[in-house]
Structure 1
Amino acid sequence: MPRLVAVCAVRRLRPDAGSVGVTAIDKGPVDGPVRVGPYGVYADVQADRKHHGGFDKALYAYADEDAAFWESELGRELPPGWFGENLRVEGIDVNAALIGERWRIGDRVEVEVTMPRTPCQTFARWVGGDDARGWVKRFSNERRLGPYLRVVRGGRVQAGDEIVVVHRPDGAPGLLDRYADPE
């Protein structure tokens, strides 16, 4: 059964060398039911809504299975929120989703897949150390990007909630079909 492993929100804003000057990538699990609305998880922050937020990027989902792959590759634990994700999920191949696919999370919340994550230099700086060099290309080439989601119907979600695919649009492109790998 696909389920929500964790709901994550920003723990603290961190200084960043990017154009905004801070990043909200440092996310961690929130206990209990959490409200989700048009801009995503209540109490989360989108420091750069132009590139990492807004209605079409209200939430970012990442699969526990993909996180386990990266734990093996990087040789370190990557807990929920490490990828900057709001939703750590399991049992659903998020990278095989279709653009426009809709998921119900728990009893009420409904989200729609809008686009894949495009890794950026902020993410590479977050990874840090020797792993940061070439990270954007490495992460992209593995095609374990995870989707951004639009909130269709808000409500409350919590770890353990079931995820049900309620709509897969006929003829829609796959999440990674139009993704161009960085050079």
Structure 2
Amino acid sequence: MILTQVMAAEDAAPNPLIPHVPEIILGFIVVAILYIGISKFIVPNFEKAYADRTAAIEGGIENAEAKQAEADAKLAELEEQLSQARHEAARIREQAREEGAAIKAEMRTEAQAEAERIVTAGKAQIEAERQQAAASLKTEVGTLATGLAGRIVGESLDDDARSGRVVERFLADLEAGVH
């Protein structure tokens, strides 16, 4: 009885835990179609996109490494140029110091020569003025001596030849008395 009732109940309401065979076969067919469709159309596109992205990343890394190597080479070149520029600047500064010292020495020599020339010219001018003053003094002394001698003698000594001889004699006596 119980078995009949269970059988009768099975015919009446299907058991939800036991699938029907046609549904299982239909499910396998649909899954197989989906698997074939996905593996033929979708997976190759994903594989291609993955391969493209991998190639792009690897190419980007290689490109970045190449750019880094190029940048390092350029940096080394610039550092070398900077070092050369520093050496050149030091050389130019040293050359400028040497030239400055040479110019300074040359200007000092020129200044000393100019000072000696000025001193020599000054001495020559002083000597010329002294001689001029001595000549002027001789003339004045001669005139005064002629006038005084004329007063003493009582006659005029306006004759140039006579007054010249008197002045010469007077000056010779003065110079002999000074020495």
Task: Answer whether TM exceeds 0.5 for this pair.
Answer: no
Which structure carries more strand by proportion? 1
Larger Rg: 2
Which structure carries more helix by proportion? 2
Greater RCO between the two (CA within 8 Å, min separation 6)?
Answer: 1
Per the shorter chain, which TM-score range? Answer: under 0.3
Please, what TM-score do these two structures have when normalized by structure 1? 0.13
